[in-house]
Structure 1
Amino acid sequence: MLPSHDRFAYSPITGRPDFSWPDGKRLAVYVALCVEHFSYGSGLGLAYSPGLTHPNSYNWGWREYGNRVGGWRLIELFEEYGLPLTVLLNSACYDHCPELVAAHRQRGDEIVAHGRTNSEHQNGMDEASERALIAEVTAKIRAAEGAPPAGWMSPGAHPSARTEDLLAQAGYGYTLDWPIDDQPVWMKTAGGPLLAMPYPHEVNDVPMVVLHDGTASAFADMAIDNLEEMLAQSERQPLVYGITIHSFIVGQPFRLRQFRRVMKALARHRDRIWFTTAGACAQHYAALFPAPGDLSTQGRQL
């Protein structure tokens, strides 16, 4: 037998019970916008100029553009189309760019905990340090937003083997760290049940644009093709379609111009799509399908 995480069993999507999202919709769509802050002089995080020594103003500046310009342009775009955002937020942004976070708060966007900064990863931390990190980020968001975050996404998509246990113990309801399915999946943890929400590792501007050198138009084509195919598939069973963008990647003007095609495609199908946030989607699913009885009930109720 191969080593296993022992958090969930294999389940073919063709053998699941049928249900619908609100208003009888069959496809739930959410857009995750990563709003991040990076340490100056650190080699961690995405690199525009890999291999150069630090400090590296060019690399830091590329990422900072998202907080100063790109993030604001994306807010304007989503306001134009009246669509919500799921904001994956580094808590360091509360001190670094509070005006940007406040703009998302004013829109009513969901705030998902995304660690302190993408200049550090949980994988490699000892348990006490990771527990303290989660507690610090949770407290920061609770103080600013008036309620703790329901969801978590690890910086760099790089959780440790114990992250899910610590999240459930800290009261989290769902995680975005497991891109395994097009429907939510209940996970077993030492702190009780935790929902793994569908998260895109393909329709995501980091692997497509930064890692695979994809063009802005190719990313838009990918997102639209994925939408059209999932709409067809959702006639047979309900699905979740997530799109992940970063303020410093899609927030660049030439990419934003192409991403407008994605927004237009989404708008054309308003009558068939539930436009939502990851948290609202998790809450709806958990109400329909509570955690199985073989999972502890210590976790947070969504």
Structure 2
Amino acid sequence: MNDEATARRQQLGRLLRRARERVRPKLTQKAVAGRLGCGQAKINKIETKLVRIEPSELEILIKLYEVSPQDAVELRKLAALDLQYGPTRTKHSDTMAAFGTLSEVEPEAREIRCWHSERIPGPLQSEMYILEQHRLQLNDTYEITRVLRGWTARTKLFTVPNPPSYRVILSESSFHRMPGGRNAKIVVDQADHLLRLLAAHGQLEVRILTFDADIRYVDSDFQHLLFDEKHAHSEFVYIEYPGGSRKCRTAFELDKCREHWADLSAAALDVADSREFLKGLTRSGQSSDL
């Protein structure tokens, strides 16, 4: 199940859970399961993105939760897209759980360390970048609105109370491999967007690993999330790969991630020089100058 399908099912599950929790008197998953004639486990899996919901089941929940007509339209569209593009039951539950955990707990982390070799991470993407990234899938206003709504949700990690320290190292390749190919307009827009974010959010740090950086090798992209000791979630590393994603949390995996982050940090431009690199992109206006 790709990230687009995962995000769509995640949004549907989250909206259904919130609708259930708003009902008064409060409805438990067990009570809802009784109305659908299924086990409580199925309701939990629907709300946590592991299985899809059938149209007939959705209609029962819309009525049971007293969902407004406007919200019902959105739920039906999300469910219809999931029915068309998502599997009935994913064999990659860990992948979906990993992505869901990442997007839900990012704002709660104490520090996030990101390494990206070929692309800009979601919370840092400009509007032009993300729309071009999804261009072939954006067939109507609803799709555009949905994509931008998901993008806006992830950028909230910069504005929540006590936001995490968000430290990013981007390869110079990230500005060459734009969605749809090398495009000077998107490069300039994305670089300018990063500079605006840096000016607005002191907890954000962006550093560039240039092509001539003195480093032995670069490994897969990762996001390393660290939390306060008393937080419900413990430290983990999120890694995407062809066909899925996973959370890494063994001591060995975390140690290797810390070691590679140290290597990347030692080889990347410092904060000030990285800002100058971005300013150079906005001034040049041509991807061939990168």
**TM-score in terms of structure 2 length:** 0.30
- Determine which structure has greater relative contact order: mean sequence separation of CA pairs < 8 Å that are 6+ residues apart, divided by chain length: 1
Instruction: Give the structure with higher Rg (CA).
Output: 2
More helix by share: 2
